[in-house]
Amino acid sequence: MKPVLFSLLALVLSVVAGVASQQPAISPNHEYVILSGGPSLLLWEKWKNPPHDKWWLNFIRAAEIRIRQLENEGVAPGQITWMVYRPSYETRSKQEGQNCTAAISALSQSLGCKLKFFSNTREVIAHLNAGKPRESVKIADFEYFGHSNKACWLFDYSNQIDSASKVWLHEDELGQINPGIFAKNAYVKSWGCHTGESMSRKFRSASGLKMWGATGRTQYMTEELPVLASPGASKWKY
């Protein structure tokens, strides 16, 4: 092998090894928390170009893809807690003509993970802080799928009020999360829009951990995880 090619291969391998070392090794004493916000209603969105959440499964499908990835990596399904904002899916059920929460429950059973519906931000923080005995069970992975802006996760955006939210987790509330709940080098990522513009920095200040977030918008897909909506102007950062 030519010296230049060998050097490039060594560099690539060192980068891959570095990325792997930034995440905690899989352990039976770890929990993996996936958080899904709720969809908007076409009542508010149908006049917009483009409307949000024409497909009610946006944040559910993305969470399913990520949960399957974790399980394929060797995480036991029982270690994964999937938290879903119930009220928005109950409201959207009327629009869809089907029981969306029942469909989510059936999906979680097929995945084998623990499903935990929540109705307010306090329940999210309570689970993070004390949903498991945190002196022994640390959170190794925490990811959010849903609407967001640069300062908060919007659990019910455009579901109860047009273009607004009544339930959210704001960056100024991150201090309520005990930083000791996380494993060393825990992987934290927000898959919503704009999180990398402010909230990621506040999360790192509050917890000491990086939270990856987008600068700009993200686009939810059907067969892959969300992507940056405008790669030329957006990037993932913490």
User: Quick one: tokens of 32?
Assistant: 């993996």
So what's the pLDDT on residue 5? 35
Question: pLDDT in tens for each of the 238 residues of the chain?
Answer: 444 333 433 443 333 333 344 679 999 999 999 999 999 998 888 888 888 999 999 999 999 999 999 999 999 999 999 999 999 999 999 999 999 999 999 999 999 999 999 999 999 999 999 999 999 999 999 999 999 999 999 999 999 999 999 999 999 999 999 999 999 999 999 999 999 999 999 999 999 999 999 999 999 999 999 999 977 778 898 8
DSSP code for 213? E
pTM reported for the whole predicted model:
0.90
d(CA 154, CA 191): 12
Domains of the chain: 28-237 (3.40.50)
Instruction: Report yes or no: 151 and 34 within 8 Å, Cβ to Cβ.
Output: no
Instruction: Report yes or no: 36 and 92 within 8 Å, Cβ to Cβ.
Output: no
d(CA 69, CA 174): 27
